[in-house]
Structure 1
């Protein structure tokens, strides 16, 4: 693609998606060419308008996680992907990037998109105006805006492999994450040599808004944060650039302050849900192993999506003395979940605080529950809040991060038998029933399918040997059912079996097992509340 054509097309895309107005066209053309070191613009205002009119996004009905742009059309980002690729090619060829790799290309094209992204004040004003009409309209616009600016790279997100697996606990969501690019060796080496800086302090800090990035830190010139107030304090609202579900948002404290689960956190969750009643919001736990990847900055994750855990029923109700106005019960879920429901969020938070306090200090050696060992605390909670009709709900997932020689990564963590599929920590998203699996699985499952159909010895293949015992198990299961593994059914079977492994992952992470003994131990804890 000719560079002048690419410049015209990028500005036309910005016009088409509403990032700029017709009055901004000449300014936008000059701004983009300045970034490219070009001193002449051949496209005219009329050329840009004509190109914008010719851009044909998909006008078919959008799925829930696609959403539509302001013009009512679905865009998967392909048009923008092609235009940015041409501009990146030119930048690499003319020495405008440090290297020809995804890291350097991302840094450069984010700068281009940042030049065409409205200022924070404009974005905030538009969001506030829409919020007055409807919180749902405001978030839908902001989600589409975050995709149109390429902050959320749609063309990468759509590469993620997704499906659902039916289990006794409901339909679990399975995702093989392919949207987060891996750094190339040159970028890794450059990051090691780069001057270390403490700015921004982390990727959740407000200082990331508009930040130019570096080889070891993503560029955020096209990033805009919506300021909100939570419990009288300044917070921010944004979307995750690697969306795992519809409108996957992050709610972050304006101050760089550590994660902490307490009564105040419960009230903050409810405050957000009250402002955005169509969203759920939850927090990762505040301890290593059972917590999230960023414990140094207080933040929550939410979105417009209903997970299997939210649909799971309460199987045993109980009443806490002094809290007869709050409905409480144990949820039918592979992890150990207490659900509180009621109209009064203060009362819900007070009972949740009592449960948390009891849990942090609770020990039951017969169930291998230890509050602490050698002064190290082990117990905390993963909380999730939502609004259902006129009632608020708070799910409290009991967590414990104790380790042993047999389970050095955690007793209530995916056990070694399951590490061939999932080894990483079980955070908030997994707790609710969505598996975020490593990208390696896409290639391994394709190779595994071919190897099984060809009758190869899996243990003789270094990359596939780790899956051999698992394949033997489900192969025997299907054989007992009289089902042969064929080219037509094997992909579906592999997906179902991965989903079953994820169910077992959640069962491993549950502090009280789904056995009579485990549930009796759960009841013993409930009796102490």
Structure 2
């Protein structure tokens, strides 16, 4: 069930950035998914058995053509907020003890007060774990929108280490501390000793964000037809006697310039990452597609003026690297490429941030904060 052989082949390296050490992985155990495919799957009504990869029926399932076997897979049952949930480890193991908490009922992802309460209940029972949820909208959500679930594990991501750069007061939440996190995406960090108060504060911010628009920075809560575009990616932790909740503001609007998503990896970085920026990437761990293993080797050959079959979509980036590193050699080519990939990922995160980490973006973020 857990793809240990493929996982062992994963390429993993850190890259230093102004936001801390981002973790870059080229994952060989999971195929790349197109964002449009993910959105379609979230809306589709599956008639096959099991309905999706997270359903209880996967436990012990023998598999079939185009559906993996789960013969030795088992799910631990747990009670979560008076509901039947399950706990299992991820077959892809992106990090230490990569876990999935899943509703035993097949229902779509949904972020609400119950979500925050459940996340905090989990870290109360498992304080050595973080736990978070993907967003519940296409483009900004994870790869499975059709089944309510969370992900957790025993790992500290770069975002968890990032400092709060500006604190602020939250209306009606005197016992909850709040601040903006220094991160390329737009993150509000809340802390409180009382998990119920923290859940309510999180829900208050979500409600405000769901209805907030600022056209000056391309942020619009609803389409003309009433389609909602705002949600959050929440991450819960336990820090000593404090409960902590990071709320990453998300917006899934599209435009003519950015048809895949205004706050989604833009065309100029999709040669490295084109999938949705989900929970794990949000926290600073890049899950990059297996195609990059052979492709980056060809890029290296191109940089070294060797015969190559480099994909056309890497050309602009490769030429920029060539100009920036005139003394590139076979000895340092891999290191330079890895660093460059890491900085592309940092740019990916900035693209996904609704309030950009520049003067205009920070001012717009403060305008939203002032309404809280």
Fold equivalence (TM over 0.5)? yes
Is residue 141–residue 276 contact of structure 2 (8 Å, CA) maintained in 1? yes
Aligned counterparts of 1:423 and 1:323: Cα–Cα separation in 2:
39
Picking from 313, 319, 331, the partner of 1:472 is 319
Cα shift readout 1:37-83 (whole Å, capped 9, x = no counterpart): xxxxxxxxxxxxxxxxxxxxxxxxxxxxxxxxxxxxxxxxxxxxxxx
Shift of 1:218: 1.1
**Other-structure match for 1:423:** 274
Aligned counterparts of 2:283 and 2:64: Cα–Cα separation in 1:
34
1:493 counterpart = 2:344: no
The range that moved more, 172-181 or 256-265, is: 172-181
1:230 counterpart = 2:60: no
**Other-structure match for 2:244:** 393
Shift of 1:455: 5.0
Picking from 286, 289, 301, the partner of 1:450 is 301
Shift of 1:470: 0.9
Distance 1:268 1:452, change over 3 A: same
Picking from 400, 408, 413, the partner of 2:259 is 408
Aligned counterparts of 2:340 and 2:156: Cα–Cα separation in 1:
23
Aligned counterparts of 1:419 and 1:259: Cα–Cα separation in 2:
26
Aligned counterparts of 1:254 and 1:477: Cα–Cα separation in 2:
52
**Other-structure match for 1:325:** 175
1:297 counterpart = 2:142: no
1:509 counterpart = 2:352: yes
Shift of 1:442: 0.4
Picking from 162, 178, 199, the partner of 1:312 is 162
**Other-structure match for 2:39:** none
Question: SS of 2:314's equivalent?
Answer: helix
Aligned counterparts of 2:258 and 2:363: Cα–Cα separation in 1:
24
1:152 counterpart = 2:39: no
Note the residue ranges of structure 1 that are not aligned, 5 or more in a row: 1-150, 183-195
Note the residue ranges of structure 2 that are not aligned, 5 or more in a row: 33-45
Shift of 1:389: 1.2
1:273 counterpart = 2:123: yes
Aligned counterparts of 2:172 and 2:126: Cα–Cα separation in 1:
30
Question: SS of 1:372's equivalent?
Answer: coil
Shift of 1:267: 0.2
Shift of 1:197: 5.0
Picking from 10, 17, 22, the partner of 1:172 is 22
TM-score (normalizing by structure 2): 0.94
Shift of 1:454: 2.8
Question: SS of 1:496's equivalent?
Answer: helix
**Other-structure match for 1:371:** 221
Is residue 31–residue 289 contact of structure 2 (8 Å, CA) maintained in 1? no
1:221 counterpart = 2:68: no
Aligned counterparts of 1:448 and 1:488: Cα–Cα separation in 2:
15
Question: SS of 1:180's equivalent?
Answer: coil
Is residue 186–residue 355 contact of structure 2 (8 Å, CA) maintained in 1? yes
Aligned counterparts of 1:474 and 1:214: Cα–Cα separation in 2:
45
Matches within 5 A, 1:8-47: none
Aligned counterparts of 2:31 and 2:191: Cα–Cα separation in 1:
41
Shift of 1:217: 1.3
**Other-structure match for 2:42:** none
Shift of 1:361: 0.4
Cα shift readout 1:435-469 (whole Å, capped 9, x = no counterpart): 1111110001112212321356x7xx5x4321121
Shift of 1:283: 0.3
Shift of 1:198: 2.8
Aligned counterparts of 1:379 and 1:390: Cα–Cα separation in 2:
31
Aligned counterparts of 1:387 and 1:473: Cα–Cα separation in 2:
43
Shift of 1:429: 0.7
Matches within 5 A, 1:52-201: 151-180=1-30, 197-201=47-51
Shift of 1:321: 2.5
Cα shift readout 1:69-111 (whole Å, capped 9, x = no counterpart): xxxxxxxxxxxxxxxxxxxxxxxxxxxxxxxxxxxxxxxxxxx
Structure with higher RCO (Cα < 8 A, 6+ apart) = 2
Cα shift readout 1:200-221 (whole Å, capped 9, x = no counterpart): 1111111111111111211111
TM-score (normalizing by structure 1): 0.66
Question: SS of 2:100's equivalent?
Answer: strand
Aligned counterparts of 1:470 and 1:447: Cα–Cα separation in 2:
13
Question: SS of 2:325's equivalent?
Answer: helix
